[in-house]
């Protein structure tokens, strides 16, 4: 539980904002010096996502996606824009969103909105998104804020839409990282928060071929 490791909520959020302001607006910056894993990450995410986009009665649409904690648009550029007609991006760091406009190149014209906002304060437009993608950012939300945000995401989905979380998982409990002011939760804690938000887990997958020294990374799809 984040309530056990986050002593001051205001400080938890403001410290994280300050940390990201000093991070270079590059792929390597977004990935904490692990820029070389970007292609492995994107390829796995594409395979995971495409199983929901295939033909069938409950097929997830490809009209519009939302990239949460989007940074400079690494996921928007390589995963979402190739699959969706339009994409919206939300990130707390204004410099990253400014950089995204050049980083995304020509295809960036299909990014409809750049929202500069922390996810604890962000509400996706209701009934608007086929996919809401949330990667490497849930650790910057307290349990209550994460649960509330996921509820708002649920309301933001179009019919057959899905919410996807991809993030680091702790071996046990909740671990605080004082450097970037984030937490890392174990699988059970994350699953519990997903259930609390009224979402139903459709798929769960562990990322393969990442460096041994980093946390295990899992992807969840839910609606």
Out of 4-8, 141-145, 189-193, least confident range: 4-8
For 102, other C-beta atoms within 10 Å of its C-beta total 11
Structure token digits, residue 62? 């490809």
Structure confidence at residue 97 (pLDDT): 98
- Which pTM does this prediction carry? 0.97
Structure token digits, residue 191? 């699953």
Structure confidence at residue 2 (pLDDT): 82
Task: Indicate the annotated binding residues.
Answer: 69, 74, 91-93, 119-120, 135
In tens, the pLDDT along 24-44 reads 999 999 999 999 999 999 999
Superfamily of domain 2-222: Vaccinia Virus protein VP39 (3.40.50.150)
What is the pLDDT confidence band of residue 54, given thresholds at 50, 70 and 90? confident
How is the chain split into domains, by residue range?
2-222
In tens, the pLDDT along 166-218 reads 999 999 999 999 999 999 999 999 999 999 999 999 999 999 999 999 999 99
Of 121, 135, 134, 145, nearest in space to 196 by CA: 145
In tens, the pLDDT along 67-119 reads 999 999 999 999 999 999 999 999 999 999 999 999 999 999 999 999 999 99
Mean pLDDT of all residues belonging to the chain: 97
Task: Indicate the annotated binding residues for S-adenosyl-L-methionine.
Answer: 69, 74, 91-93, 119-120, 135
CB contact burial 2-17 (16+ within 10 A = b; e otherwise) = beeebeeeeebbeebe
Structure confidence at residue 203 (pLDDT): 97
In tens, the pLDDT along 106-130 reads 999 999 999 999 999 999 999 999 9
């Amino acid at each position: 539980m984040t309530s056990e490791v986050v002593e001051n909520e205001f400080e938890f959020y403001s410290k994280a904002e300050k940390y990201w302001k000093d991070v270079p607006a590059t792929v390597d910056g977004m990935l904490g010096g692990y820029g070389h894993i970007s292609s492995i990450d994107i390829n796995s995410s594409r395979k995971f996502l495409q199983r929901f986009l295939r033909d069938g009665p409950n097929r997830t649409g490809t009209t519009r996606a939302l990239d949460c904690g989007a940074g400079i648009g690494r996921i928007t550029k390589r995963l979402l824009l190739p699959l969706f007609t339009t994409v919206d991006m939300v990130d707390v760091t204004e410099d990253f969103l400014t950089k995204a406009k050049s980083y995304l190149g020509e295809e960036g014209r299909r990014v409809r909105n750049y929202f500069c906002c922390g996810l604890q304060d962000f509400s996706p437009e209701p009934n608007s998104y086929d996919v809401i993608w949330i990667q490497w950012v849930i650790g910057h939300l307290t349990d209550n804020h994460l649960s509330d945000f996921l509820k708002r995401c649920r309301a933001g989905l179009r019919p057959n839409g899905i919410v996807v979380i991809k993030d680091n998982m702790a071996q046990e409990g909740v671990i605080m990282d004082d450097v970037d002011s984030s937490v890392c939760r174990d699988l059970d804690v994350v699953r519990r928060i997903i259930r609390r938000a009224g979402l139903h887990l459709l798929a769960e997958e562990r990322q393969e071929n990442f460096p041994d020294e980093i946390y295990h990374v899992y992807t969840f799809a839910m609606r």
